[in-house]
Amino acid sequence: MRRIGAVMAALVLAGTGLGAASSAAGAAPAATARVTACPTGWGSGDKGGVTAGAVPLENIRTGRHDCFDRIVFDVPGGGSLGYYVRYVKQLQQTASGRYIPVGGGAVLDVRVGAPAYDPETGAPTYPARVGRTLPGVNLAGYRTFRDTRFAGSFEGETQIGLGVRARLPFRVIQLPDRLVIDVAHNWTGSR
């Protein structure tokens, strides 16, 4: 009788251990399922169209996200902004063809349909200087962004160079009064 009791106790303990092991194993996929994959499919080809505009650019700002780094062009009252974004070997200023060095493994040439000056008065609305980094933009700690350079405004269009770690997928989002460019941290969609 004692043997049967010992065997039963061993089976109960073994069953409890198996139940705990299967609960732990079952919990692992649930934890993995909570990890959100980053969006993919943006590509790295040229994006955009007509760029010239009459409403002035007021600010350029950046932000870090789990899956991408973001740059935002604020143009209050600008409505839907024209833009043209593409990877280039080196940044050439639109008006003069002047080479402007931009740090990073790849360079995005970004053109936004908003001048950095008031078209009526010619007064600057965005305090940047050609060839210099963008004022107020600090890229320390960014995973993808490496450098920014102001290339100037010409005929209703502002041009900047955005240095990134490598040629990576990006998307452009037109929102009322601003243009958003997200550059992914990688091609695989993993964080």
**pLDDT tens digits, 27-75:** 444 444 455 688 878 999 999 976 666 789 999 999 999 999 999 999 9
**What's the whole-number average pLDDT of the chain?**
83
- Cβ(74)–Cβ(178) below 8 Å: yes
Report the pLDDT value the prediction gives residue 144, as an integer from 0 to 100. Answer: 96
Residues 6+ apart with CB under 8 A from 53: 75, 78, 81, 82, 112, 113, 114, 115, 156, 157
Q: Is the pLDDT of residue 169 over 80?
A: yes
Q: Is the pLDDT of residue 14 over 60?
A: no
- Cβ(148)–Cβ(137) below 8 Å: yes
Amino acid at 91: L
Report the pLDDT value the prediction gives residue 156, as an integer from 0 to 100. Answer: 87
Residues 26, 28: Cα–Cα separation, whole Å? 6
Structure confidence by residue, pLDDT tens digits, 98-131: 999 999 999 999 999 999 999 899 999 999 999 9
